[in-house]
Structure 1
Amino acid sequence: MTDHFFTPAEYDAISDTAAHWCMRMHASDCTAKERQAFEQWLDAHPLHVSEYEAMLEIWDVAGNLQRPEKAPVPIVRLRPASWRRFGVAAAVCALALPLAAYSGWSLGWLPDSYQRLETTDKGRQVTLNDGSQVELNLRTELIYSHYKDRRQVTLEKGEAFFSIAHDSGHPFVVRAAEGKIRGTGSRFNVWLYEDQVKVNLIEGSALVSSNSEQPGDGLRLGPSMQASYGHGDFIPRIRQTDEHDHSLAWRSGKLVIDDLALNEALPLINRYLKKPLMVADNSTGAIHIGGVYNINELDSLVATLPKVLPVYVTRNNDGNPVLNAIPQKPAKN
């Protein structure tokens, strides 16, 4: 069977239909019959899935509409969105939101372009559309969006090192968990694991906020400073970077753990594992670990730990490996 090549008119018709289904799937009066027709349309061709996901992602980036709790289609790798697709999305938003009747671009809530970047078992270096450089660690996902008044990255998971192209009129904002990092021409690293974020500033300056909904621009970081925050933190914790800090060792393919308790070390390790490693209790979590590890070989660490630490491994109901401390025999009198 030969592949069908769509004409521009056919492709545009699919984009229009995808936009229509985006509106209907978010509508409160969407019927079961419509949902069935939507699923049949999705199944008809892989391009239908791709275009529908592209429309959803544009709205996610713009922050105007939320995905349904259970998306009916899988996430797919997306190509950069075309100008026409943004126009179609804005037109359909105009039907859903009165404000969208105005130009989404001129109001600053709809980007004119975006790039979705992701890595699995290999890092990646990318030049963004504005000339900024970003280096992605393993298992990292982010979206870059260009708005009228700002450049924005949403770090969905993982870690990235940013070298920002200077543009004082368009601040570069990285959203990570509940907070954000704002700079114009600086170099910094952002690490995200679950709701924990750590920022290392290397050059220039940046403003860090632990809650993007709070008023103000956040706390200012200078070179060799570090900020960290988690869920519920009103302000980020700021400190000078220790001279022995190894946060950027991943850029050389290494993970350096300097005598940390397992409770502190596991977030650093788990970002590289397909199934996160857990501890059975606080006493296990207090056991210390150290060493230099190759980030591409950390899956083998689970089998190695019982050989170097007083622990044994079990599995929980979800199949995750769990470290258990080996009970210590009481000392003889």
Structure 2
Amino acid sequence: MNTQPDIQVVIEYLEDPENEQHKLALDKWLQQDAGHLDIFLEMRALWQGDVLPAISSYNTTRQWEQLETQLDAPQPLTVAPSTVTPVKKISPRYWWAAAAILLLVAGYTIFHQPAYLVKQTAQKQDSLLLPDGSMVYLNAHTSIRYPREFKTRHITIEKGEAFFDVAQKPDAPFSVNTDKVAIQVLGTSFNVKDDGRAVKVFVQTGKVSAAFKGSDNKVTLTPGVEAALATANQKIETRRPQKNNNILAWKTRQLVFEDSPLTAVAAALENCYHVEVVIRNEQLADKKLIASFRNLPLEEVLDIMEKTLQINISHKNDLVEIY
């Protein structure tokens, strides 16, 4: 949010509120952010020498309606005399008000910082070093939120998938929340994926506790174990995937298939390359693939699969079809 207004625009309007150009400039700035109205009201009170009320005491809706009416009010047309406009001497009050407004805006910027920060990814992956030294790796299409003051080590996954490498601080537990699942750790590395139907937690090192919020239904996970917490019925299923399970392939960019059925290959490709993979011929579902791919583009992977399994694959936009 841009909370640093153009001081000159605001002051020009306050000096000459009937000037149409000043009205337009102020209106444009007010439309940029909803928070600008609060700043303007405080500036106007300072300018007029009023005692500043708390922001919460403003009837923002009524003030906005009144200001819109004032800005939209037509003014009588006047013809300026054809004389040279004298240079206007700036009064000491102007400088006092400007200085007061600058202090006001600086204070607003400092004390109105958002309590939480948001990190989002679109098509590409990204990583984030947290203030406590922990690392977060975000898959594509992921959004997380965390406190600006990271005294309580708490992360919220709003959507998507993230891998956490948590710095060990026994006196400060690290927690990760999704919409319906809470995860507690002390120092470990683990993966969390919320696909809307279930929250999947896979532990690489350490120990993790995952529970449904407001419930005693929870599970403790050790290295190599994955839990799927179904949000619809609060059912928890755990499994120990094979060593080369490709759960972290989106992060490592390495896919390993050891006699893997094509259905498992399709699921791994979907998660790693963010495409939909459809097996059109059901007879191909049990075909087995032995191959490994390290940081290869999807087109190369599909080409190798075609030649190795002697199948047909088409790829258009985000859809891969196997037949």
TM range (shorter): 0.5 to 0.7
Residue in 1 that maps onto 2:265? 265
Residue in 1 that maps onto 2:136? 134
Residue in 1 that maps onto 2:146? 145
Residue in 2 that maps onto 1:190? 192
Give the alignment's Cα RMSD to 1 decimal. Answer: 4.1
Cα pair distance change 1:274/1:173, threshold 3 Å? closer
Residue in 2 that maps onto 1:163? 166
Map residues 111-130 of structure 1 onto 2, 5 A cutoff.
Answer: 112-118=115-121, 120-121=123-124, 123-130=125-132
Structure 2 unmatched ranges of 5 or more: 11-28, 39-64, 69-108
- Work out whether residues 193 and 267 of structure 1, in 8 Å CA contact, stay in contact via their aligned partners in 2: no
Q: CA deviation at 1:255?
A: 1.4
Cα pair distance change 1:14/1:245, threshold 3 Å? closer
Of 132, 150, 157, which residue of structure 2 is paired with 1:154? 157
The residue type paired with residue 263 of structure 1 is: T
The residue type paired with residue 321 of structure 2 is: V
The residue type paired with residue 256 of structure 2 is: V
Larger radius of gyration: 2
Map residues 226-241 of structure 1 onto 2, 5 A cutoff.
Answer: 226-230=226-230, 232=232, 234-240=234-240
Q: CA deviation at 1:256?
A: 1.5
Provide the aligned length of Structure 1 versus Structure 2.
Answer: 231
Q: CA deviation at 1:289?
A: 2.4
Q: CA deviation at 1:284?
A: 3.0
Tell me the distance in 2 between the aligned counterparts of 1:273 and 1:247.
13
The residue type paired with residue 320 of structure 2 is: P
Q: Once the two structures are superposed, what CA deviation does each residue of 1:208-231 show, in whole Å capped at 9, x if it has no partner?
A: 23xx34512611112343323445
Q: Once the two structures are superposed, what CA deviation does each residue of 1:39-94 show, in whole Å capped at 9, x if it has no partner?
A: xxxxxxxxxxxxxxxxxxxxxxxxxxxxxxxxxxxxxxxxxx985254xxxxxxxx
Structure 1 unmatched ranges of 5 or more: 20-33, 38-80, 87-111, 325-333
Give secondary structure in 1 for the equivalent of 2:155.
Answer: strand
TM-score by length of structure 2 reads 0.56
- Work out whether residues 269 and 275 of structure 2, in 8 Å CA contact, stay in contact via their aligned partners in 1: no
Residue in 2 that maps onto 1:311? 311
Tell me the distance in 2 between the aligned counterparts of 1:82 and 1:266.
50
2:281 is aligned with 1:253: no
- Work out whether residues 161 and 191 of structure 2, in 8 Å CA contact, stay in contact via their aligned partners in 1: no
Map residues 24-63 of structure 1 onto 2, 5 A cutoff.
Answer: none
Give secondary structure in 2 for the equivalent of 1:302.
Answer: helix
Residue in 2 that maps onto 1:285? 285
Q: CA deviation at 1:163?
A: 1.8
Tell me the distance in 2 between the aligned counterparts of 1:207 and 1:18.
46
2:321 is aligned with 1:322: yes
The residue type paired with residue 114 of structure 1 is: L
2:103 is aligned with 1:84: no
TM-score by length of structure 1 reads 0.54
Tell me the distance in 2 between the aligned counterparts of 1:194 and 1:263.
21
- Work out whether residues 197 and 232 of structure 2, in 8 Å CA contact, stay in contact via their aligned partners in 1: no
Tell me the distance in 1 between the aligned counterparts of 2:262 and 2:196.
17
